[in-house]
């Protein structure tokens, strides 16, 4: 700085000296030529001018020196300001560098490669290791590791010095509180200022290692479960599945023995289904264990896992033969499917062992998967058994179909035969009826003529004629009934349609059977509801139908019995509710639309009763209960049996009016019968049926 100013000063004086010499040159040139007394005014003027010129030059130089000094002062201040700025920037850069180190997410260490001591570190390193900055100063990093890890660390340093960098992803460090963590360290050889150091980046990967361990464990568990699933899919039977699964689980968990129990008979029995490395004596004893006994039985009963560190000293042990083995560690878990316990999975070890939580969870998962596989295997076995049954059933079904076709063929032949016989019977009845009426007319007319002359005939002949007349009347009734049956079956009978007075109809019926009631010492009670029942139909035919039912009751009710006639209203819903019971009496009744309401006339008696199995058939044509030898022609005699047309005609007439008739009885032991005559109410219903 001073040298520069001096140079500038000398360089500024050279023009001034030259100017001064130039001003003095005329004086010096004149001075030698004049003496002391010879100075002239010219000399004096030149000298004065030179002095003034020199003074002016000196003043100008002084002004220039002052300006140069001020400029140099300003330049010096600027240089000092730049120096201070440079120092501030340097300090700020150092602070920024320090902040970068302190705020880094990883621990950063600077290690002396010769002594191994820490030269510097960031804040994260102090937090991670648990030491303060002062405590870590000059502390060898080797002291922060367990002895088992120090040789690996020294090998890391040697590789760093040899090739300039190195790394280790599984180095264990020890904190100040003696807790340990797994660190990943990456080192590189470099400088810290002028000092040669090893730059190390340290990261705590303990959680990552734990996650990796858990992932490896999960992968092992999934592999095991996948193997079990494949074995379940490929196994050809339940026993093979259980044996393979038990062996796989025991080997995967380093167990020495194992067993599988299955619950049978609704959970009351515990069946030893599979064993692995189990002595025969233990197997035989465990096969007798029941739910609730021992550790495995407790699992079967409660569904909760059970474990034992040492079976030899565990008081919960049930099988005494286990004491003869070397088994100690034990774990049992339930085999379940949809929260239903189906069995128990057990594994044993020769050493004392506490099974980890993830191992227990794995066994529980295996138990659930095994439960589903067992259910699937049992279902498959059931399906196979069902398939065999189906095959046998199909064979039987084919044979049954063949027999059915044969039976249908025979049935069709029998039906055709029956239809042919029915036609022949109907033709015979029609022919017989018509052919019998003509001679009957002659017989009855002759008896009437003879009876008109009864005063001329002896008593014995009158009795014979009277018997002929009664037999003729009975035979005429039978012929009339046969003709009426034929007309009903041909649907050619004429039915009037008029409003019927129910009370008058029943009173007339009572008058008609009064003599029969008196003769048989029977009582008849009428219970007519107060409701108005609008019945439409043919009163004469309905009177005959009711009369036949009442005569049937009279015939099968012993003396001093009673007969009761009552009426009630029944709605369509009530009838439909009894459809199953009523269909055998009238198959076609429910095939047509029903009326909204019906009149039900109930004729009940205290007679001998009817067997329940006979009830649907008593309305069939010519059907009579008992031996044909019991039949006689009396219409009033107790127990007398006719030709079996009375109830048939009653049913035909009721059905012709759109109704139906059925009977009910408790049997011949308790006695009594009830006949229900159902007639539609209203004119519309009658017109529809007509």
Q: What's 215-282 look like in SS3?
A: HHHHHHHHHHHHHHHHHHHHCCCHHHHHHHHHHHHHHHCCCCEEEEEEEECCCCEEEEEEEECCCHHH
Phi and psi torsions of 544, nearest 5°: -65, -40
- Write down the pLDDT at residue 332: 93
Alpha helices by DSSP H, listed for 564-603, are: 572-577, 579-582
R_g of the chain, CA atoms, integer Å: 67
Q: Quick check: is 653 in a domain?
A: yes
Look at residues 493, 510, 540 and tell me which one is the last residue of a structural domain: 493
Q: Which of 135-144, 195-204, 429-438 has the highest mean pLDDT?
A: 195-204
Confidence of residue 70 (pLDDT cuts 50, 70, 90): confident
Instruction: Note whether 629 and 481 are same-domain residues.
Output: no
Say whether both 248 and 330 belong to one domain.
yes
Is 84 part of any domain?
A: no
Own/partner pairs, 637-643, CB within 8 angstroms, 24+ separation: 637/555, 638/520, 638/555, 638/556, 638/557, 638/558, 638/559, 639/555, 639/556, 639/608, 640/555, 643/478, 643/481
Of the candidates 146, 236, 141, the one whose C-alpha atom is nearest the C-alpha of residue 182 is: 146
Q: What is the CATH number of the domain that holds 489?
A: 1.10.287.130
Q: How far apart are CA 252 and CA 247, in angstroms?
A: 9
35-49, 58-72, 86-100, 116-130: least confident range: 35-49
Query: Does position 536 have pLDDT exceeding 80, yes or no?
Result: yes
Q: How far apart are CA 311 and CA 322, in angstroms?
A: 8
**Would you say residue 394 has pLDDT above 90?**
no
For residues 437-460, average pLDDT? 75
Question: Both 515 and 461 in a single domain?
Answer: no
Q: What is the pLDDT of residue 1?
A: 46
Residue (of 57, 48, 46) closest to 18 by Cα position? 57
pLDDT at 627 over 60: no
587 in the same domain as 483: no
Q: In this structure, how many other beta carbons lie within 10 angstroms of the beta carbon of residue 62?
A: 11
pLDDT given at position 530: 56
Higher pLDDT, 494 or 387: 387
Q: What is the structure's pLDDT at 678?
A: 92
The answer on pLDDT for 434 being more than 70 is no
| pLDDT at position 573 over 50 | yes
pLDDT of 490 above 50: yes
163 band by pLDDT with thresholds 50, 70 and 90: very high
pLDDT value of residue 384? 81
How many structural domains does the chain have? 5
Does one domain contain both 193 and 156? yes
- Beta bridge partners of residue 189, listed in sequence order: 198
Task: Give the position of tokens 């005569």.
Answer: 551
pLDDT at 339: 84
Q: Assess whether 551 and 578 both reside in one domain.
A: yes
**Each residue of 186-211: pLDDT tens digit?**
999 988 878 899 999 999 888 888 88
Q: Which of 675, 673, 678, 640 is nearest to 659 (CA)?
A: 678
Q: Do the Cβ atoms of 312 and 351 come closer than 8 Å?
A: no
537 plus 667 within the same structural domain: yes
pLDDT of residue 463: 79
Query: For residue 627, is it within any domain?
Result: yes
Question: Which is higher by pLDDT, 185 or 60?
Answer: 185
- Sequence-distant (6+) residues with CB within 8 A of 82 are none
Domain ranges, residue 575: 496-689
Q: pLDDT value at position 632?
A: 47
Band of residue 447 on the pLDDT scale cut at 50, 70, 90: confident
Q: What does the block give as tokens for 48? A: 């004065």
Q: Picking from 109-123, 294-308, 391-405, 425-439, which range would have the lowest pLDDT averaged per residue?
A: 425-439
> Mind listing the pLDDT tens digit for each residue in 335-361?
988 888 999 999 999 999 888 888 888
- Mean pLDDT of all residues in 482-494: 68
> Is-contact 653 488, C-beta < 8 A?
yes
pLDDT at 689 over 50: no
Q: Is the pLDDT of residue 5 over 50?
A: no
- For residue 324, the model assigns a pLDDT of 84
How many percent of the chain have pLDDT more than 70? 82
Residue 166 phi/psi, 5-degree rounding, is -170, 170
Give residue 261's pLDDT. 93
Task: Give the DSSP H or E segment for 150.
Answer: helix 147-163
Domain end point (choices 15, 50, 71): 71
Name the most confidently modeled range: 167-181, 413-427, 576-590, 620-634. Answer: 167-181
Residues 665 and 519 occupy one common structural domain: yes
Q: Residues 265-284: what's their mean pLDDT? A: 88
**Confidence band for 245, pLDDT divided at 50, 70 and 90:** confident
Determine the pLDDT at residue 346. 93
Answer yes or no: is 218 within a domain. yes
In a domain, residue 412? The reply is: no
Q: Which of 230-234, 297-301, 484-488 has the highest mean pLDDT?
A: 297-301
Confidence grade of residue 362 (pLDDT, cut at 50, 70, 90): confident
Find residue 168's DSSP bridge partners. Answer: 185
Question: What would the two tokens of residue 577 be?
Answer: 């509710």
State the average pLDDT over residues 130-141: 83
Whether 687 shows a pLDDT value over 50: the answer reads no
CB 185, CB 107: distance < 8 Å: no
- 323 and 449 co-located in one domain: no
**pLDDT the model gives residue 677:** 92
CA distances from 564 to 190, 525, 540, 544, 553 (A): 128, 5, 21, 18, 10
209 assigned to some structural domain: no
Q: Is there a single domain that holds both residue 602 and residue 541?
A: yes
**466 in a domain, yes or no?**
yes
pLDDT of res. 100? 60
In a domain, 284, yes or no: yes
Domain co-membership, 500 together with 489: no
Computed over every residue of the chain, the mean pLDDT equals: 80
The set of long-range contacts for 616-625, using a CB threshold of 8 Å and a minimum separation of 24, is 616/584, 616/585, 618/647, 618/663, 619/585, 619/647, 619/648, 619/650, 619/651, 619/661, 619/663, 620/644, 620/648, 621/485, 621/645, 621/648, 622/648, 623/648
175-198 CB burial, b ≥16 within 10 A, e <16: eeeeeebbbbbbbebeeeeeeebb
Name which residue leads in pLDDT, 9 or 282: 282
Please check whether residues 422 and 569 belong to one and the same domain: no
Which of 349, 379, 409 is the endpoint of a domain? 379
pLDDT interval class at 234 (50, 70, 90): low
State the pLDDT at residue 187: 93
- At residue 622, the 3 state secondary structure works out as coil
Predicted local confidence at residue 685, as pLDDT: 47
């Amino acid at each position: 700085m001073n040298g520069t100013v001096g140079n500038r000063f000398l360089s500024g004086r050279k023009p001034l000296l030259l100017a001064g010499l130039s001003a003095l040159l005329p004086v010096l040139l004149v001075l030698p030529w004049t003496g002391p007394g010879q100075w002239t005014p010219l000399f004096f003027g030149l000298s004065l001018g030179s002095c003034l010129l020199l003074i002016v030059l000196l003043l100008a130089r002084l002004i220039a020196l002052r300006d140069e000094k001020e400029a140099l002062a300003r330049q010096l201040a600027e240089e000092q300001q730049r120096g201070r700025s440079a120092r501030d920037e340097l300090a700020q850069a150092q602070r920024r560098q320090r902040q970068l180190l302190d705020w880094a997410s990883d621990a950063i260490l600077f290690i002396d490669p010769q002594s191994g001591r820490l030269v510097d570190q960031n804040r994260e390193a102090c937090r991670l290791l648990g030491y303060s900055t002062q405590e870590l100063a000059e502390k060898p990093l080797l002291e922060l590791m367990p002895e088992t890890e120090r040789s690996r660390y020294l090998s890391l340093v040697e590789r760093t010095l040899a090739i300039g960098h190195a790394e280790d992803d599984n180095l264990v460090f020890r904190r100040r509180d003696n807790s340990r963590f797994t660190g990943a360290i990456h080192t590189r050889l470099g400088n810290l200022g002028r000092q040669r150091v090893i730059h190390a980046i340290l990261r705590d990967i303990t959680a990552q290692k734990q996650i990796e361990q858990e992932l490896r464990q999960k992968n092992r568990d999934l592999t095991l479960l996948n193997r079990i699933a494949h074995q379940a899919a490929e196994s050809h039977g339940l026993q093979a599945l259980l044996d393979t699964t038990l062996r796989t689980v025991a080997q995967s968990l380093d167990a020495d023995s194992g067993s599988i129990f299955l619950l049978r008979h609704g959970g009351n029995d515990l069946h030893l289904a599979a064993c692995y490395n189990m002595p025969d004596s233990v197997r035989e004893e465990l096969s007798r264990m029941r739910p609730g006994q021992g550790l495995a039985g407790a699992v079967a009963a409660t569904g909760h896992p059970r474990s034992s560190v040492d079976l030899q000293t565990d008081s919960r042990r049930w099988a005494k033969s286990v004491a003869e083995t070397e088994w100690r560690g034990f774990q049992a878990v339930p085999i379940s499917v949809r929260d239903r316990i189906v069995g128990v999975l057990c594994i044993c070890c020769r050493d004392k062992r506490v099974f980890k939580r993830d191992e227990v969870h794995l066994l529980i998962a295996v138990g659930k998967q095994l439960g589903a596989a067992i259910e699937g295997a049992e279902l498959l076995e059931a399906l196979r058994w069902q398939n065999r049954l189906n095959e046998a059933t199909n064979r039987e079904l084919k044979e049954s179909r063949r027999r059915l076709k044969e039976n249908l063929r025979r049935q069709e032949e029998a039906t055709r035969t029956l239809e042919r016989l029915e036609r022949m019977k109907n033709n015979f009845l029609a022919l017989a009826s018509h052919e019998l009426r003509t001679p009957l007319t002659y017989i009855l007319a002759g008896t009437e003529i003879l009876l008109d002359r009864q005063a001329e005939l002896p008593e014995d002949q009158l009795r014979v004629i009277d018997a002929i007349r009664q037999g003729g009347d009975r035979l005429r009734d039978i012929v009339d009934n046969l003709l009426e049956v034929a007309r009903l079956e041909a649907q050619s009978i004429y039915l009037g349609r008029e409003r019927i007075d129910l009370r008058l109809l029943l009173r007339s019926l009572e008058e008609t059977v009064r003599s029969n009631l008196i003769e048989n010492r029977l009582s008849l009670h009428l219970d007519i509801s107060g409701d108005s029942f609008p019945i439409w139909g043919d009163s004469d035919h309905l009177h005959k139908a009711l009369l036949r039912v009442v005569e049937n009751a009279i015939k099968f009710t012993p003396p001093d019995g009673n007969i009761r006639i009552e009426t009630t209203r029944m709605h369509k819903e009530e009838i439909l509710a009894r459809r199953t019971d009523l269909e055998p009496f009238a198959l076609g009744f429910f095939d047509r639309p029903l009326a909204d309401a019906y009149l039900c006339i109930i004729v009940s008696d205290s007679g001998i009763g009817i067997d329940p199995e006979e009830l649907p058939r008593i309305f069939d044509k010519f059907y009579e209960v008992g031996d044909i030898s019991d039949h006689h022609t009396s219409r009033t005699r107790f127990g007398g049996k006719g030709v079996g047309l009375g109830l048939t005609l009653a049913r035909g007439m009721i059905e012709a009016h759109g109704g139906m008739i059925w009977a009910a009885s408790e049997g011949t032991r308790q006695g009594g019968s009830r006949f229900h005559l159902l007639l539609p109410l209203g004119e519309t219903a009658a017109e529809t049926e007509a």
